[in-house]
Amino acid sequence: MTTTDRRIQRSEDTAGVVGPERLAGQGLDEHQHESGDRAIRILLSDPVVGPQTDLVITCRDGAYEVWAARGMVRFVRRYAEHGRGPAYSVIEQIGENPIARQDPRALATIDDEVAASRASGFPAEEPSLAYVDPAYLTYPLAYERIAQLFDSPNAPDLVVNPKAYLFGAQPGQHGALDVVQSRSPLIFAGPGIARGVTTDALSRQIDIAPTIAKRCGFPLIDGADETGRTSGERGVAPDVYLKRQDGRPLDAIIEAGAQPAERAYIFLLDGLSNADLTHRLGTDADGIPNLRRLVREGAMFEYGSFTNFPSITWPSHNAIGTGAWGGHHDIVNPTYYLRPTRELVTPQGQQFETARFLGDGVETLYEAFHRVFGDWHGHDGAFTASIHEPCTRGADHATLERAVIGDRDRLRDLTAQHAGDSDPKWQQDGQRGAYAESVIETRGLAQVLLLYTDASHPPPKFMFHEMPLTDGVGHDYGPHSDGVRAALDETDRRIGHILRMLEEQGLYDGTLFVITTDHGMAATDAAVKADQTRAVIVAGMKAVACPPFVYLLDMAVTVTAHPDGRTAMVEVLANDADASGQRPPVAGAAVTLSGHDAEVLARATTSPGGTCGLPLPVSIEPAELVVTVHHEDYNRRHLRLDGSPVQEDLRDALYGGR
């Protein structure tokens, strides 16, 4: 179906449809169709924000919706009849399906991005200015990545996916659904991993944890798979390694019959583009000798690993560390709204002590290593460590939980010894953020060197090491920039110190290494300082906006006409339940009854209990009577007395000419 089609493709086949797992306000319920449709129209039609917006995403009535200027699609999720995992099918389409292009191989190189930028009308030769229009992007695993998000009660009502180059005020950015921002490098090396292999197999962030579990000899357990059902509930023998395992082991790179790895180490080079890494390996591998070594000794995924959605820090790190999507581990965004407590939380802004935000339904690799090999106590059990990692729950040493193990004086000495690894470029360029992240990496290196050589505990059985410099530089200098090249050189030097230390300690050969990152990085027109979510608030709507999420503040309104046809009761409640699970009454809401030509027939105000009464004119048909409810804290509601909708048809408003 092309963008010129005027037909609407629909299917009413909803048998076996599985909507959000824990529905508790996310998406649009029956009381939010009016406000939701208005917000979608604003985001796609506003003269400023409309041209900046690629997609507006929601779920409604058990289906997932993606709206764009070029068309819309509704799709549903079902459990597959045979085998594990859900299946997805389109039930409605108008114009172009905006996420139909899902090729994971697209725009895999810097040259590809530059060519796509030229085709988009941006002929800049500088790769860090390679702005790519949605027409030249793909959206890998879009159905799965969208549906998982709305499984969490913390998910929004709407997600605003910006055009790749129009989001934020930094030259490099990420967070969106597209292939450039969603592709991370992925390399495995060590015991039982195929050596010197580059594979075109598809991989996801959520596949990393189960691959580590399998290679480290974890037993299969009766845990939940990506459908949320345990092995027992699915009627099969234990078939997962983790409490909630959305991913699967990457068997394409695992050698059959190999002895388990003794320990695992994840190097997470935050924000590093897969295109940047492959370009360096192809043109200047000697400049990053330690990463080159691990690539040559292991297996690299040519097209990278596809991230959580949104493709952004705190959700993605925890997807890697749990093997579960953000919609299942519940840290859904750097900032998100908790409906029961009416609280805006920002794990990424808070930085420290954020383990408490992780949902109970998942298990981190730290917790899993302890379950399998025992809790750490003295020289017994599994000692685990998180170095500046946003995924922390269960780690014995966790920098961001302020749980630091080891001699502080020696730690300071090690930090001072390696201060010279920092590139003077950051201070010369006046890039304070880059310099600060360089210092953080040095402190992280010191912690690693201490933890593996301190005789007071065993060497870490599992290490998750966040190295932030490539992310900060990618943001500040832009992707594919000379700054990113310098940052990668610097980070590679620190990796070299760690590899040499592991060899000296006799630990290298038994260690399973993973090199990855939490997201990609796209060139951004920083001058625009685009923030699409603000448009709904500027338009006068009541909402909580935390890009790219919008939480609508709505009222649940029920109008009950009494049998005599002369009176009706109006009940007005906050649409979002509070911590008790109940919708609180809305007192002081102004309620009007209108008839022909919007003539006001009656007025009332809701009581402390959220109710009021209205007289009904028996001479006017219910379909012609409209109840309007207004309160300064919520979006306005309009209801016909017969229950039929009042708001405009969004399909007509956006696509009526097709």
The answer, yes or no, to whether residue 326 has pLDDT greater than 80, is: yes
| Mean pLDDT confidence for 32-51 | 97
Confidence at 169, pLDDT banded by 50, 70, 90: confident
Confidence at 657, pLDDT banded by 50, 70, 90: low
The answer, yes or no, to whether residue 2 has pLDDT greater than 60, is: no
Q: CB 497: neighbour CB atoms within 10 A?
A: 18
CA-CA distance, 531 to 203, in Å (whole number)?
A: 31
Burial of 429 (0-12, 13-18, 19+ CB in 10 A): middle
**Coil, helix or strand for 523?**
strand
Looking at residue 646, what is its pLDDT?
A: 86
Looking at residue 79, what is its pLDDT?
A: 87
DSSP class per residue in 179-213: HHHHEE-EEEESTTBPSSEEE----BGGGHHHHHH
Is the distance from CB of 520 to CB of 214 less than 8 angstroms? no
| Mean pLDDT confidence for 560-588 | 94
Q: Which residues lie below 8 Å from residue 336, measured CB to CB, with a gap of 6+?
A: 154, 156, 344, 345, 546, 549
The answer, yes or no, to whether residue 1 has pLDDT greater than 50, is: no
The answer, yes or no, to whether residue 82 has pLDDT greater than 60, is: no
| Mean pLDDT confidence for 79-95 | 84
Domains assigned to the chain: 8-166+530-551 (no CATH), 181-523 (3.40.720.10), 555-634 (2.60.40)
| Mean pLDDT confidence for 81-104 | 90
Confidence at 643, pLDDT banded by 50, 70, 90: confident
The answer, yes or no, to whether residue 107 has pLDDT greater than 50, is: yes
CA-CA distance, 140 to 385, in Å (whole number)?
A: 32
Looking at residue 4, what is its pLDDT?
A: 37
The answer, yes or no, to whether residue 7 has pLDDT greater than 80, is: no
% pLDDT > 70, the chain: 97
The answer, yes or no, to whether residue 580 has pLDDT greater than 80, is: yes
The answer, yes or no, to whether residue 219 has pLDDT greater than 80, is: yes
Q: How many degrees, rounded to 5, is the angle at CA 348 between CA 347 and CA 350?
A: 60
Looking at residue 13, what is its pLDDT?
A: 62
| Mean pLDDT confidence for 189-194 | 98
User: How does the average pLDDT of the chain come out, rounded?
Assistant: 94
At 482-492, the pLDDT tens digits run 999 999 999 99
Looking at residue 3, what is its pLDDT?
A: 37
Distances (CA, A) of 159 to 39, 221, 306, 309, 443: 11, 35, 19, 10, 37
At 383-427, the pLDDT tens digits run 999 999 999 999 999 999 999 999 999 999 999 999 999 999 999
The answer, yes or no, to whether residue 6 has pLDDT greater than 50, is: no
Looking at residue 625, what is its pLDDT?
A: 94
DSSP class per residue in 206-259: GGHHHHHHHHTTPPPBS-B-TTS-BHHHHTSS--BSSSB--S---GGGBPTTPP
The answer, yes or no, to whether residue 5 has pLDDT greater than 60, is: no
| Mean pLDDT confidence for 233-261 | 96
Confidence at 190, pLDDT banded by 50, 70, 90: very high
Is the distance from CB of 246 to CB of 225 less than 8 angstroms? yes
Confidence at 16, pLDDT banded by 50, 70, 90: confident
Q: 411 or 9: which carries more pLDDT confidence?
A: 411
Looking at residue 34, what is its pLDDT?
A: 96
CA-CA distance, 45 to 648, in Å (whole number)?
A: 14
Looking at residue 225, what is its pLDDT?
A: 95
Confidence at 12, pLDDT banded by 50, 70, 90: low
Confidence at 162, pLDDT banded by 50, 70, 90: very high
The answer, yes or no, to whether residue 9 has pLDDT greater than 70, is: no
| Mean pLDDT confidence for 95-113 | 97
Looking at residue 636, what is its pLDDT?
A: 96
Burial pattern 286-296, b for ≥16 Cβ within 10 A else e, equals: eebebbbbbbe
Burial of 339 (0-12, 13-18, 19+ CB in 10 A): buried
